Structure 1
Amino acid sequence: MRPADIGPPADEAPVKRPWLTTRTVRTGLASVLAALLVGSLAPAAHAAAGPKGPAAPAASAAAKSWPGNKHNATGGKDYYIDATHGHDTAAGTSPKNAWASLAKANATTFLPGDRILLKAGEQWQNEQLWPKGSGSAGKPITISAYGDKRAGRPYIATNGQVPSPFNADGTKNPQTVGLTGAIVLRNQQYWDIDNVELSNDDDFATDITKGTYVRDGIMVSINADLFPDGADTVMDHFRISDIYVHNLDGPSSWQKIHYGAVDFQVFGSKSYKAYPAGGYHFSDVRIENNTFENVELHAVQFAFNWFAADSADSGQYDEAGKWHEGWEQLWVRTRDLYSRDVYIGHNYAKSIGQGAFQLADSQRMTVEYNEVNGFLERYNAVSCGLYLWAGADSTMQYNEVYGGPDNEYDGTPWDLEYTNFNVTYQYNYSHDNAAGWMAYMGNSSNSVARYNLSVNDNGVLVKNMLSTNYAPTYFTNNTFVYDGADLNTVHDETFLSRVYFLNNIFYNTSETTPTPWYRRTGALRQAVFSHNDYYEASGTHSAQEPADPDGLRADPKFTGDPAHYVTGAGVDKIRKAAAPFALRKDSPLIDAGRYNAHMGTEDFLGTHLYYGDAPDIGIAESKRGRKVAHPVDANPIEEEADNRVNLALGKSVTASSTHPGANGSLGAEKLTDGNLSTRWAAADDASYPITLDVDFGADTTFDQVYLDEYTDSGTNPRVQSFELQRWDAATGGWVTFATRDAGVGHDLTVTGFGSVTSSKLRVALTGQIATEQYTPSLTEISVYRAGA
């Protein structure tokens, strides 16, 4: 939910939030002194103090009292800072003897249990807070507020007065990287920060379009180059809550570093291979009950690792011989560099320049009850609303994202990103995002999206898929409501590995245009659709609609009207938004689904799964029928397969050319392994014809040959012409029985040549598509006798 007292009333559409407090800009000696103390950090073009931002939302703590007014329960010492009445020559240990500037705190090394208390209602213009020291278990160091409970949060307006994190040549500067926040912590741990207001821009009304400016609200970093030998490189325990961050500006073009309202990052100037494994990460972090508005790039950016991973040798092969570019960050997993045990919840983000919640390189992360009201608003590159990159064993749930832009690449509220292992999106609500619903990249394992509600995400529902996966992906029990006349496609590229769509509702409100399912031939070749409902308001179904023998084409009979979906209730009432999409008692979708363990244990509304003879289709389970306490999947969809016998499966294959790269994983044996996720490739200098010979070991009769080319985001089909040949033992030569000059592409089954009996099959690739530069790559050769 939003922090108390700052959101629109329930049941109303999102509106401009009322600011409940105002401040008077204070000037005078304190401000002048502050500017002098930090002026050396300011870029020359931005040295002047910027305007005050919008008045801050009232803090939920203010109704009771500021935390600094209460006794310090840790036994540490309290230090007070009062910009108006304080003096840096004072002891700082009582409100009457407070310090004046943040520079005094920056020069102090604090001890476990100490508190740095800023006076409510005060401002520190052109200053940055970087106190030194670390807390300990049970005794964190705290930054918080004290004073009049009716006053607003203490306000640090850094106005861009931070050093550049870059050297003159554009590389990261190990000395200044990570020092770009209004509040900074570097290689420090056990810190609590709450009840402060922060901004860090000189003039947000003037958008920065170029330069090397990086400005954060709170920047917490690990700098691997600055640890002494033998130091603890795992930074534990951070609590950031009840803060308000606004007006952070930065360039609108990518400069290979992240920044945002709350920013956790790991830096190292050398290759990740130069540092020991098992460290250099954050642990035990909670970021909750915060408000972010008008910030770049992100509201929260967590744990991205910035070791040198752009060179030619920065990638690696996995245990299966699959190559990962360095930027995919598989090395975070193999070297155990994950940050872990992270909670990000109950935050409100409005008008975010790029992706609102960009999370990375984390394990055991829970991200819930966050609301994003507008993202990618000022940035000319791609991102998504809320997502995890290169993560593991993590869950995104009960989040609401809306107001995303129309964007060809990404731009969706959610993203099943590269190198995710066991990452689940469930019980999320997205609406009115013009780019679509879910980006989907690949190189992941056991990605699951279940019981999510999407309304008017009229772009691409499942966008991209640029690499194969380690294990299948599951889209189960989601409800999609969209306008087919406005929807681009359900999928825009080609599923490269197995994807299951189970028990979903595809509800097209258009009365003129059926659902456009794909734009590329063979796009759904690896997708299995089972027990979904396909509703077309027009009554006309698309010829592209996937085969689903147990699916329905029925009106779901929702309890509410999809045209009047709920907005403005806030994420604390997210189930109120989902409830109208439950099923009426007379819905044909009740008990019409199929059980699969990837459905989880409860629906969007918290109802046990499942009741009756089978699960319901869609996001809500009705309590009709007997409760099935411990469901068992007695008919696994994963075990269903083509009933035809693949006569080539496991047979020996010989290729006239094989690519030597990819750690030897591109051999011809991949063509008969029955796995479309593996592939053979010809060498770069191969000349046509390129031959692929399947040895059956004995005379075999067949009447169908299946061929499939490999493609990804940078690899198109390459074969223009080919011949199918049989081995003639009597003459000791090859005999052509079928030819084709219209290419191979995906899922090509060649028939019409009658029955052929031979001990060997040759696929002779005789010509390349004229516009293609590189040699071909195929995933599979299958052989069938359908007429038997």
Structure 2
Amino acid sequence: MKPVATAPPPPGAPTRRRPSSRALRRGLVALLAALLTGSLVTVMPAAAAPSGVAAATKPSWPGNTPNPNGGTDYFIDATSGSDNAGGTSPESAWRSLAKANATTFAPGDRILLKAGEQWHDEQLWPKGSGSAGRPITISAYGDPRAGRPYIATNGNVPSPFNADGTKNPETVGLTGAIVLRNQQYFEINNVELSNDDDFATDITTERVVRDGIMVSINADLLADGADNIMDHFRIFDVYVHNTDGPSFWQQMHYGGINFQVFGSRNYREYGTGGYYFQDVRIENNTFENVELHAIQFAFNWFGDRTADSGQYDENGKWHEGWEQLWVRTRDLYSRDVYIGHNYAESIGQGAIQLANTKNMTVEYNEVNGFLERYNSVSVALYLWAGADSVMQYNEVYGGPYNEFDGTPWDLEYTNFNVTYQFNYSHDNPAGWMSYMGNSSNSVARYNLSVNDNGVLVKNMLSTNYSPTYFVNNTFVYNGAEMDYFHDETFLSRVYFLNNIFYNYSTTEPTPWYRRTDALRHAVFSNNDFYEASGSHSSQEPADPNGLRVDPRFVGNPTSYLTGAGVDRIRKAAAQFRLRDESPLIDAGRYNAHLGSEDFLGTHIYYGDAPDIGIAESRIGEKVTNPVDDDPIEEEPGNRVNLALGKPVTASSTHPGAGGTLGAEKLTDGDLTTRWAAADDAAYPITLDIDFGGDTTFDEVYLDEYTDGGTNPRVQSFDLQRWDAGTGEWVTFASHDGGIGHDLTVTGFGSVTTSRLRVALTEQIATEVYTPTMTEIAVYRTG
């Protein structure tokens, strides 16, 4: 809940920003609920209640009730306390946070700040750790009518940078109003925090970092053999506001609640299977005017951006160090993290930026305005280099217009088994979903997007390990204000199944793509393409099982529900259920990636087939255990790749990456694998495909490998056929405009030969390294 009564600041103290109307409304509702239930302690479901917080039987702060964990209570009163007192009762309370900072607390102890009191220019960093079942708690005591105790640190924290701008291993992680470093078993609740002396003045040139709550693992300060896994954190009912920072990237994350792992050396110099957080719950917190993030999880190794910090994966794909594949290969994921029911308003960069975590659930969070004070790219709520996690029932709105990211959600680099489902985004002019690549089993299903009128699926910078699935989403947009459905080129297989594309513009059809062949690797099946104008774009993707009809929603799609909060997110989605007479009922197709229920919690599926869109109708017999008896993944294409599986001989092959860069990768039909020439290869570099007999074709497809650090490298090439009669290679096509991605070569007529040579004859002048390619395919279209 929001603070409802806080004493005026002392003379000369900074004026606190009045809570927004939305936040004030939330606070009043919370206060009314508390008064009706007889408690100022947030009442949570038993399964979600933090340990050590019992429901009060009368209006009270947690510190007014007995300590349930068997430790000692320490009281701090900024007005009437004395640092010379014992501190173990309200009558003998300490005065300053410095007294607590100089104390090492024991398991079960509580650090209790008096409600309504304020501590300016101070930081709270208690020492010690709790233990299993006996956490150390930071909370409030005192008058139930007073506001939360308020720590206004005013930027009075050490700099994490040395004079030359490099990171200082001694001071990184010490930048919060509340700090924990290499400590565990802590619970923090019912406090108010800020960390800026003048938020109205934008910090644009200083190298400063300011956090609300900063929890860190500093690997350099842990002795060999020391416990380097920090366990059990509960942070709830905290109000963080006015934490400022520069609007440029400093290779340092900061925010309202910040979990970071720091190390000054390269990640390879530390052990595996450690240096992470586990069992973390961050819930029911409020954030306003914070930089960079409201909530943040990440590694911040100082040496992950050097030239030698990258690594090859099992498919021979090179990952730059900053892509953080090493988190997976060295088992450095934080784990068992829950982030729920938080409200974030007016956030400088990405509101909830998560990285390097697995077994994470992020749900019922509301983001109202992000990327408001940051001059680069980010996303409202996303996970980077994570695994086995789900983002669901979140609402995001009020984003910026941004050509690059700026979307509510992001299928980011190096994610494995990450799902976005049951989320509601609206009024984000940059678009709906950023999409990076280098990931496996990414799924976005049963999400609702209204007026995310930028690019619906934005970017794709690298190939994926496995196909991505966009299934049963509902998109409502204005084609006249929309940039594109997709702005770049899908580099790997992407499936779009059972989605509704509802364009309510009466003048402009949907602009589907910016680049030629952008959708070449996208497969559309059983989608509905509705154009209010009645005119369909010539770019509209082929969908043999698709529809072009009015979905017949139960509500008006352009009068969508806003401002209700995430607790009513299903009410917002229910407006987009289908009427009983909708032609989309039973018009979808089943695929295991649909999951087991829709946005409204209805089982999938009823009737002859799943419905199209975010809501399944209970019409027809319930199919209790669906089976995909018509896998879209096994449907044959319209053309046969005549080179598929044929042997390939290269004049040069790179010996690195564990032998995974062989020429056979060029005809395996898998764009996630590749061939590379040796570093000292001399041009021309030849790639010879043996068809095993005379083969006739009229089209050749070539694709180079690229990623964040690899550009196209081939400037010119020749296509040659083997002439068995003369025993020579004969050129039938030449090209000097480069290869890049998805180059289809035609116009040479019909060629019959038993062998095909692709002779790479020249490198792009600005490139240093030799070529690397993912595929050569050959077709007969005539």
Instruction: Flag whether TM exceeds 0.5 (same fold).
Output: yes
Decide whether the 8 Å contact of 1:280 with 1:337 is kept in 2.
yes
C-alpha distance after superposition, 1:540-582 (max 9, x if no partner): 1111111110011111111111111110010000011111111
Which SS does the other structure have where 1:261 is aligned?
strand
Which shifted more, 69-78 or 663-672? 663-672
Decide whether the 8 Å contact of 2:716 with 2:738 is kept in 1.
yes
Change beyond 3 A, Cα 1:189–1:652: same
Aligned pair 1:638/2:616, yes or no?
no
Decide whether the 8 Å contact of 2:315 with 2:672 is kept in 1.
no
Shift of the alpha carbon at 1:684? Answer: 6.5
Alignment-derived partner of residue 354 in structure 1: 349
Alignment-derived partner of residue 617 in structure 2: 622
Percent sequence identity over aligned pairs = 78
d(CA) in 2 for partners of 1:123 and 1:749?
A: 68
Shift of the alpha carbon at 1:420? Answer: 0.5
d(CA) in 1 for partners of 2:764 and 2:231?
A: 56
Aligned pair 1:242/2:255, yes or no?
no
Alignment-derived partner of residue 559 in structure 1: 554
Alignment-derived partner of residue 30 in structure 1: none
d(CA) in 2 for partners of 1:24 and 1:655?
A: 77
d(CA) in 2 for partners of 1:49 and 1:20?
A: 19
Listed as ranges, the matches of 1:637-716 within 5 Å are 637-642=632-637, 644-658=639-653, 664-682=659-677, 689-712=684-707
Change beyond 3 A, Cα 1:417–1:782: same
Aligned pair 1:88/2:66, yes or no?
no
Shift of the alpha carbon at 1:126? Answer: 0.8
Decide whether the 8 Å contact of 2:316 with 2:673 is kept in 1.
no
Listed as ranges, the matches of 1:293-442 within 5 Å are 293-442=288-437
Change beyond 3 A, Cα 1:745–1:540: farther
The one of 54, 57, 60 equivalent to 2:18 is 54
d(CA) in 2 for partners of 1:161 and 1:634?
A: 63
d(CA) in 2 for partners of 1:751 and 1:214?
A: 56
The one of 14, 18, 26 equivalent to 2:10 is 26
C-alpha distance after superposition, 1:512-560 (max 9, x if no partner): 1111111111211111111111111111111111111001111111111
Letter in 2 for 1:54: R
CA-based RMSD of the aligned residues comes to 2.2
d(CA) in 2 for partners of 1:685 and 1:279?
A: 39
d(CA) in 2 for partners of 1:751 and 1:358?
A: 46
Shift of the alpha carbon at 1:663? Answer: 5.5
d(CA) in 1 for partners of 2:10 and 2:766?
A: 66
The one of 723, 731, 734 equivalent to 1:728 is 723
Decide whether the 8 Å contact of 2:552 with 2:582 is kept in 1.
yes
Which shifted more, 468-477 or 646-655? 646-655
Alignment-derived partner of residue 38 in structure 1: none
C-alpha distance after superposition, 1:41-95 (max 9, x if no partner): xxxxxxx964334368466553731011111111111111111111111111111
The one of 430, 439, 449 equivalent to 1:444 is 439
Shift of the alpha carbon at 1:169? Answer: 1.8
Decide whether the 8 Å contact of 1:165 with 1:177 is kept in 2.
yes
Decide whether the 8 Å contact of 1:53 with 1:199 is kept in 2.
no
The one of 141, 147, 160 equivalent to 2:136 is 141
Aligned pair 1:178/2:173, yes or no?
yes
Shift of the alpha carbon at 1:765? Answer: 4.2
Aligned pair 1:608/2:603, yes or no?
yes
If asked which structure has higher relative contact order (CA below 8 Å, sep 6+), I would say: 1
Shift of the alpha carbon at 1:223? Answer: 0.6
Alignment-derived partner of residue 10 in structure 1: none
Listed as ranges, the matches of 1:215-294 within 5 Å are 215-294=210-289
Which SS does the other structure have where 2:391 is aligned?
strand
Which shifted more, 130-139 or 766-775? 766-775
Shift of the alpha carbon at 1:361? Answer: 0.6
Shift of the alpha carbon at 1:436? Answer: 0.6
Shift of the alpha carbon at 1:699? Answer: 3.1
Which SS does the other structure have where 1:731 is aligned?
coil
Alignment-derived partner of residue 109 in structure 1: 104
Decide whether the 8 Å contact of 2:347 with 2:371 is kept in 1.
yes
Change beyond 3 A, Cα 1:107–1:771: closer
d(CA) in 2 for partners of 1:717 and 1:360?
A: 29
Aligned pair 1:528/2:523, yes or no?
yes
Shift of the alpha carbon at 1:665? Answer: 4.0
Change beyond 3 A, Cα 1:131–1:586: same
d(CA) in 2 for partners of 1:230 and 1:693?
A: 54
Decide whether the 8 Å contact of 1:521 with 1:746 is kept in 2.
no
Which shifted more, 570-579 or 683-692? 683-692
Which SS does the other structure have where 1:564 is aligned?
coil
Decide whether the 8 Å contact of 1:224 with 1:267 is kept in 2.
yes
Change beyond 3 A, Cα 1:580–1:240: same
Alignment-derived partner of residue 47 in structure 2: none
The one of 440, 461, 466 equivalent to 1:466 is 461
d(CA) in 2 for partners of 1:165 and 1:749?
A: 52
Stretches of structure 2 that go unaligned for 5 or more consecutive residues are: 42-58
Decide whether the 8 Å contact of 1:50 with 1:201 is kept in 2.
no
Decide whether the 8 Å contact of 1:446 with 1:471 is kept in 2.
yes
Which SS does the other structure have where 1:253 is aligned?
coil
Alignment-derived partner of residue 124 in structure 1: 119
Change beyond 3 A, Cα 1:315–1:750: closer
Alignment-derived partner of residue 753 in structure 2: 758
Decide whether the 8 Å contact of 1:562 with 1:581 is kept in 2.
yes
Stretches of structure 1 that go unaligned for 5 or more consecutive residues are: 7-18, 28-47
d(CA) in 1 for partners of 2:315 and 2:739?
A: 27
d(CA) in 2 for partners of 1:528 and 1:668?
A: 27
The one of 520, 532, 541 equivalent to 2:536 is 541
Which SS does the other structure have where 2:558 is aligned?
helix
d(CA) in 2 for partners of 1:556 and 1:577?
A: 17
Letter in 2 for 1:518: Y
Which SS does the other structure have where 1:726 is aligned?
strand
Shift of the alpha carbon at 1:740? Answer: 5.3
Letter in 1 for 2:177: A
Decide whether the 8 Å contact of 2:467 with 2:494 is kept in 1.
yes
> TM-score under structure 1 normalisation?
0.91
Shift of the alpha carbon at 1:175? Answer: 1.3
Which SS does the other structure have where 1:327 is aligned?
helix
Alignment-derived partner of residue 164 in structure 2: 169
d(CA) in 2 for partners of 1:407 and 1:752?
A: 40
Shift of the alpha carbon at 1:384? Answer: 0.4
Letter in 2 for 1:757: T
d(CA) in 2 for partners of 1:724 and 1:97?
A: 88
Change beyond 3 A, Cα 1:529–1:771: farther
Q: Tell me the number of residue pairs that the alignment of Structure 1 and Structure 2 aligns.
A: 751
Letter in 1 for 2:106: L
Which shifted more, 745-754 or 309-318? 745-754
d(CA) in 2 for partners of 1:398 and 1:266?
A: 28
Letter in 1 for 2:40: A
d(CA) in 2 for partners of 1:272 and 1:770?
A: 34
Alignment-derived partner of residue 517 in structure 1: 512
Alignment-derived partner of residue 54 in structure 2: none
Decide whether the 8 Å contact of 2:503 with 2:510 is kept in 1.
yes
Letter in 1 for 2:514: R
Listed as ranges, the matches of 1:188-203 within 5 Å are 188-203=183-198
Decide whether the 8 Å contact of 1:395 with 1:426 is kept in 2.
yes
Aligned pair 1:70/2:65, yes or no?
yes
C-alpha distance after superposition, 1:321-342 (max 9, x if no partner): 2211111111111111111000
Change beyond 3 A, Cα 1:751–1:467: closer
d(CA) in 2 for partners of 1:223 and 1:708?
A: 44
